[in-house]
């Protein structure tokens, strides 16, 4: 696993946490929730690409 991926996920997490805190303190709870969900979706897309690469590697390894 590449270390850059871990740093990217951590950066998205920190950004979402700060935005969530700011939006919650200003009384915009719905927007804070949407920001959290958007951050989760971004991270899931990054992970899905890596999982697809893993499945391709396994498929070529076992010649399926």
The domain locations on the chain are: 3-61
Whole-structure pTM value: 0.79
Angle between helices 3-25 and 29-61 (to 10 degrees): 170
Residue 63 to residues 51, 55, 58, 59, Cα–Cα distance (Å)? 18, 12, 8, 6
7-41 tens-digit pLDDT: 999 999 999 999 999 999 999 999 999 999 999 99
The residue behind tokens 């946490």 is 17
Residue 53 to residues 7, 8, 21, 38, 56, Cα–Cα distance (Å)? 19, 18, 35, 23, 5
CA dist 63 and 17 (Å) reads 43
């Amino acid at each position: 696993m590449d270390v850059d991926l871990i740093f990217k996920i951590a950066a998205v997490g920190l950004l979402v946490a700060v935005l969530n805190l700011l939006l919650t303190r200003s009384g915009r709870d719905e927007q804070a929730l949407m920001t959290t969900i958007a951050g989760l979706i971004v991270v899931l897309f990054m992970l899905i690409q890596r999982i697809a690469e893993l499945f391709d590697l396994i498929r070529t390894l076992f010649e399926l």
